[in-house]
Amino acid sequence: MSKLKIALQKSGRLSEKSVALLEECGLKFPNGGGKLITESSNFPVEILFLRDDDIPQYVEQKVAHIGIIGENVLLESRKDISISEKLNFSGCRLSLAVPKEIDYEGLSYFNGRKIATTYPNILSGYLAENGISATVEVISGSVEIAPGIGLSDGICDIVSSGSTLLSNGLREVDSVLRSQAVMVSNKNLDPEIQLILDRLLFRIRAVRKAKENKYILLNSPNGRLEEIIRILPGMNSPTILPLAKEGWSSLHSVISEEKFWEIIDELKEAGAEGILVVPIEKMIL
């Protein structure tokens, strides 16, 4: 039987979240002990743990059918592979930073200056788009120290909290790219492999949808039902059940995580009581 080969980063936060996602999708597989290849016992997949920079090449060459990497890694690699799904975790940004004492007034500051980075392709494209003529110094690590040792006038690097920049006397001045984890795939998958990938994507979307929504139960006087229903639409419409208390009903629905507090306030003003909000494990549409 054919197996879908998935390439994951072998260590780090992205690796941990990728493994957690597959486990939430119901896949069971041994993880740990330094293994570089493992198989699921209940789903036709084989998992390869690799360096993140190598994953785009392996997917392009079909050593792995799909991989989970940051968008920044994908764009920097310039490999001919496609995004199957944006996963909405491991968000970060690729940003320009300069020594904190610099009086920075815009991108023109970098004209004729040097920028150190491990992302020369993305940075060069960004500078060209903005008409900036700067020298890109490619280094493989410890980008933050480059200005301090005289190698560059600024840097372009991944930023999460910004604490690493501050500890090295730098400040963020411009965002080049916003990145998140993405699932990438070879563009020429065999039909049987594509079917397995489609089954996995179905599970991933169900898990993600559940995280983006909450299940809500509340009690409402029957005279306020129409008003509350307008505030609280479900996937089709709320479920309404009569309560033992005469003149009252229980409403069950799903609300978006983004609108949670806004909707709760409106419901209370409309007379809703006994509001209970619970997480959803899976959500199949």
Last residue of a domain, one of 161, 179, 197: 179
Residues whose CB falls within 8 Å of the CB of residue 228, separated by 6 or more in sequence, listed in order:
218, 220, 251, 267, 270, 271, 272
Last residue of a domain, one of 179, 196, 221: 179
Count other Cβ atoms within 10 Å, centred on residue 74.
Answer: 20
- Provide the domain limits for residue 249: 213-279
Q: Secondary structure of 211-276 in the HEC alphabet?
A: HCEEEEEEEEEHHHHHHHHHHCCCCCCCEEEECCCCCEEEEEEEEEHHHHHHHHHHHHHCCCEEEE
Classify residue 109: in a domain, yes or no. yes
Question: So what's the pLDDT on residue 96?
Answer: 97
Classify residue 126: in a domain, yes or no. yes
Q: Are residues 98 and 77 in the same domain?
A: no
Q: Are residues 70 and 206 in the same domain?
A: yes
Classify residue 284: in a domain, yes or no. no
Q: Are residues 102 and 171 in the same domain?
A: yes
- Indicate the Cα dihedral angle 33, 39, 42, 43, nearest 10°: 140
Count other Cβ atoms within 10 Å, centred on residue 205.
Answer: 15
Question: So what's the pLDDT on residue 258?
Answer: 80
Q: Are residues 81 and 184 in the same domain?
A: yes
Q: Are residues 173 and 185 in the same domain?
A: no
Classify residue 8: in a domain, yes or no. yes
Question: So what's the pLDDT on residue 234?
Answer: 58
Classify residue 285: in a domain, yes or no. no
Question: So what's the pLDDT on residue 244?
Answer: 92
CATH number of residue 257's parent domain: 3.30.70.120
Q: What is the DSSP string of 175-193?
A: EEEEE-EEEEE-TT--HHH
The structure's pTM equals: 0.85
Classify residue 268: in a domain, yes or no. yes
Q: Are residues 188 and 256 in the same domain?
A: no
Q: Are residues 137 and 184 in the same domain?
A: no
Q: Are residues 159 and 125 in the same domain?
A: yes
Question: So what's the pLDDT on residue 204?
Answer: 96
Question: So what's the pLDDT on residue 32?
Answer: 67
The total of structural domains in the chain comes to 3
From first to last of its 285 residues, the chain has per-residue pLDDT tens of 799 999 999 988 899 999 999 999 999 998 766 789 999 999 999 999 999 999 999 999 999 999 999 999 999 999 999 999 999 999 999 999 999 999 999 999 999 999 999 999 999 999 999 999 999 999 988 899 999 999 999 999 999 877 889 889 999 999 999 999 999 999 999 999 999 999 999 999 999 989 888 899 999 999 999 999 888 765 567 889 999 999 999 999 988 888 878 888 889 999 999 999 898 988 887
CATH number of residue 58's parent domain: 3.40.190.10
